[in-house]
Amino acid sequence: MNLDDAKIPGLRADLERTVRDALAEDIGSGDITAQLIPADRSASARVITREDCTICGTEWVNEVFRQLDPALQVNWMVADGDRAAADSVLFTLHGNARSILTGERTALNFLQTLSGTATAASALAEEVRGGQIRVLDTRKTIPGLRTAQKYAVLCGGCHNHRIGLYDAFLIKENHIAAAGGIDAAVEQARQLAPQAPVEVEVENLDELRQALDAGADIIMLDEFNERDTLEALQLAKGTAKIEISGSVDAARLRQLSGLAVDYISSGALTKHLKAVDLSLRLQM
């Protein structure tokens, strides 16, 4: 996986901005501890993972050291989307010792966070491998890292829901109430942006029927029980795509894998991630 393959709007610009902001946040007026090291001292370093993981964030690491010191050499043993075993070397560095140590934490922060997202996505993708269900992320991302985490989800083998509020309609309970009902909300959406997909979240079978009658493209079933889910799938068959949301974990995915569900969305992919444990080891 690479940045261009992801086709996420603004991804590369966001990468450069978030790296710049992260370095400014960490370095401030200068890395006073790095000044203990002679300015011309060279060093090498290797970064290892202490646990099995799916890799994401190589370009963020590259950008950290590019912005700090373009003369640093970064050599990767893995690529985004690769599985890495515990204790394996992910990349090596060679160049100015001060630059390596100044950029270490910022680089590893990006790599551990995005690899954590990719690893979580990989676990869920494995549960539906070979079937028709596509596991989607949500907008429940770390502020400032929206496109980065969306990219990490792709590296883990899952898929992106809408990127933001601008590229698709997702009509929820409060929108329905404020717009005057499901039919009115869908009709206004078609007039406002005819090219944009229209999805409606429903909480019961009556709302499902209203969404179908209104011509929604996708219908999200929020916290439906098993019986109502089966009925909803029959009602929507051939008319609208069905997305399951709410309390979706690996066990639930296995239950749904044999049903005619199109999408399963999980906020846990990006908000419940566990950062991967990484370590940088300097060699003088």
Per-residue pLDDT of 157-193, as tens digits, reads 999 999 999 999 999 999 999 999 999 999 999 999 9
pLDDT at 252: 76
Q: Are the beta carbons of 174 and 197 closer than 8 angstroms? A: no
pLDDT at 253: 79
Is 105 in the active site? yes
Out of 172, 209, 241, 271, the active site residue is 172
pLDDT at 222: 87
Question: What mean pLDDT do residues 125-136 have?
Answer: 89
Secondary-structure percent of the chain, ordered helix, strand, coil, rounded to 5: 45, 20, 35
pLDDT at 238: 86
According to DSSP, residue 247 is labeled S
pLDDT at 132: 86
Is 87 in the active site? no
pLDDT at 97: 97
The chain-wide mean pLDDT, for the chain, equals 95
pLDDT at 165: 95
**Residue 183 to residues 69, 142, 171, 175, Cα–Cα distance (Å):** 57, 33, 11, 12
Who has greater pLDDT, 246 or 142?
A: 142
Is 140 in the active site? yes
Give the three-state DSSP class for 141.
Answer: coil
Out of 16, 31, 187, 222, the active site residue is 222
Indicate the pLDDT class of residue 77, thresholds 50, 70 and 90.
very high
pLDDT at 34: 96
Picking from 7-11, 92-96, 113-117, 250-254, which range would have the lowest pLDDT averaged per residue?
A: 250-254
- ∠ CA 141-142-145, nearest 5°, is 95
pLDDT digits (tens, 9 = 90+) for 187-227: 999 999 999 999 999 999 999 999 999 999 999 998 888 89
pLDDT at 254: 78
Q: Which domains does the chain have, with CATH numbers?
A: 3-125+273-283 (3.90.1170.20), 130-271 (3.20.20.70)
pLDDT digits (tens, 9 = 90+) for 15-71: 999 999 999 999 999 999 999 999 999 999 999 999 999 999 999 999 999 999 999
pLDDT at 119: 97
pLDDT at 79: 98
pLDDT at 29: 97
Is 201 in the active site? yes
Question: What mean pLDDT do residues 246-255 have?
Answer: 74
Q: Parallel, antiparallel, or unpaired for β 73-76 and 53-54?
A: unpaired
Is 172 in the active site? yes
Q: Are the beta carbons of 244 and 224 closer than 8 angstroms? A: yes
Out of 46, 140, 241, 271, the active site residue is 140
Indicate the pLDDT class of residue 259, thresholds 50, 70 and 90.
confident
Out of 50, 105, 237, 254, the active site residue is 105
Out of 14, 104, 201, 243, the active site residue is 201
